[in-house]
Amino acid sequence: QEGDLPMSARNGSASDEECRITEVCRAPEDVELTELGPLLEESGGPGKAQGATAGGPAGAAACPEEEEEEEEEEGVRVITLPLQAHHAMEKMEEFVYKMWEGRWRVIPYHVLPEWLKDNDYLLHGHRPPMPSFRACFGSIFRIHTETGNIWTHLLGLILFLCLGILTMLRPNVYFMAPLQEKVVFGMFFLGAVLCLCFSWLFHTVYCHSEKVSRTFSKLDYSGIALLIMGSFVPWLYYSFYCSPQPRLIYLSIVCVLGIAAIIVSQWDRFSTPRHRPTRAGVFMGLGLSGIVPTMHFTIAEGFVKATTVGQMGWFFLMGAMYITGAGLYAARIPERYFPGKCDIWFQSHQIFHVLVVAAAFIHFYGVSNLQEFRYGLEGGCTDDSLL
C-alpha cells in the first residue's frame, strides 16, 4: 500500500515518525485570516526545505532517514532571523498586492487581531486588516459588517451638505439679522457635517492598521461632541433671543463641556471595547446638560407655549432619539440577543447612526420653525418673554 502513495506522502509520513527537531511542521495558512507577524517555515516544498536545511540537497524532504544521525548531532534547528524576515517580507508583499487589487474576503470574528475586535456578538462578515487606503475605500462597495455604518452617515453627510448650502444661500430678506443668523445656522451645519464626515471615514479606514484606527476613532468621537455643541447654538440663540445674559452663560457652559469631552476622547483607551459604556455616558452627559436651559425656558414661558411656539416638542423627540441610540449602542442591542444574526444589517451601531441622522434633521426642523417665528415678530421682544 505504501507503494501506491505518492512520494510526497511517504516523505511526510517519515517526517512525522522520525523527525526529532522541535520546529513545527504545519500546513500552509492563509495570511488573509491572521494578523501578519513572524512567519515560520512551511514543510513540504523543495525550495523551503532547502532554506531550512543548510547545505541540504534541493528537493529533499524534511528529515530524510539517511540524515538521521547527522540531525541528532546538530540538535535543534532554528530558522535564522534574516531568513525569517525574508519570508515575512514576501508574505507582506503578497498580502498588500491582494489588498491593492481588492482580492480579499470577509473573515469571522475569532481570527481578527485584537485591535480590530470590537463587538463579539458580530460573528461573521468582518474585513481583514487591509494596509491599503485604496482597498479600504474600495470596500465601501462590498458587503461586510461596516457597510451599513459607512453608508448611513455617508448619505447623511450628503443630506446635510445640501441643507446647509440651501440655508446659507437663502436671501437675506428672510432673516431679521442675516449675518448673525447665518453664522448660527452655520455652526450647526458645521458640527453635523464634521460629525458625519469623521464617522464614515473612520468606519471606512479603521481596518487599515492599528495606528490609523486609533487616529480616526479620536476624530469620530470629537465629531460627536462637535455635533452636540453645534446643535445647542441655534436653539439657545432663538430660545433666549430676548435674554442675552442667560444665553451667553449656557453657551459658555456647553462649549466648556464639549471641549472637555473632546479632550477625554483623545485618551487611547477611550476607544477600546471595555470603555463602550464610558463613551456612551460621556456624550449622553454632554447632551443632557441641555436639561437646565430647557427647564429654565419651560418655566419662564409655560409648558404650552414652550412645546408649541417654542418647538420644545421637537427637541424632546430629538433628545429621546439620541438617548435611545446611545443606549442601544452601549448595550449592543439587538445583536446581544441574536448573536450572528445581525452581523451585516440591523446591528446596534447602524441603528444608532440612523437615529443620529434623524435626530439632527428633527433638530434642524425645530430650529427653522423658531427662526420663522422670530421673523414673524420682526425681531421685537417683550419684557416677559425669553423668545
Annotated binding-site members for Zn(2+)? 203, 349, 353
**Residue-level pLDDT at 92:** 59
Cell numbers that stand for 105 in this block: 474576503
**Residue-level pLDDT at 228:** 95
CATH code for the structural domain at 146-377: 1.20.1070.10
Enumerate residues 6+ apart whose C-beta is below 8 A from 340: 121, 122, 123, 124
51-80 in b/e burial notation, b at 16+ Cβ within 10 A? bbbeebeeeebbbbeeeeeebeeeeeeebe
Chain centroid, CA 268 distance in Å: 14
Annotated binding-site members? 203, 349, 353
| Residuewise pLDDT in 10s, the chain (387 residues) | 444 444 444 444 444 444 444 333 343 444 444 444 333 333 333 343 344 334 444 444 445 555 555 555 555 455 566 677 666 666 655 555 555 555 899 999 999 999 999 999 999 999 999 999 999 999 999 999 999 999 999 999 999 999 999 999 999 988 988 999 999 999 999 999 999 999 999 999 999 999 999 999 999 999 999 999 999 999 999 999 989 999 999 999 999 999 999 999 998 888 888 888 888 889 988 989 999 999 999 998 899 889 888 899 999 999 999 999 999 999 999 999 999 999 999 999 999 999 999 999 999 999 999 999 888 887 677 666 676
Question: Nearest-CA neighbor of 195 among 332, 353, 321, 317?
Answer: 353
- The answer to whether the pTM exceeds 0.85 is no
pLDDT in tens, 61-116: 445 555 555 555 555 455 566 677 666 666 655 555 555 555 899 999 999 999 99
**Residue-level pLDDT at 321:** 94
Cell numbers that stand for 189 in this block: 451645519
Question: Alpha-carbon dihedral of residues 14, 17, 20, 23, nearest 10 degrees?
Answer: 80
**Residue-level pLDDT at 269:** 84
Q: Which residue bears the cell 494596509?
A: 131
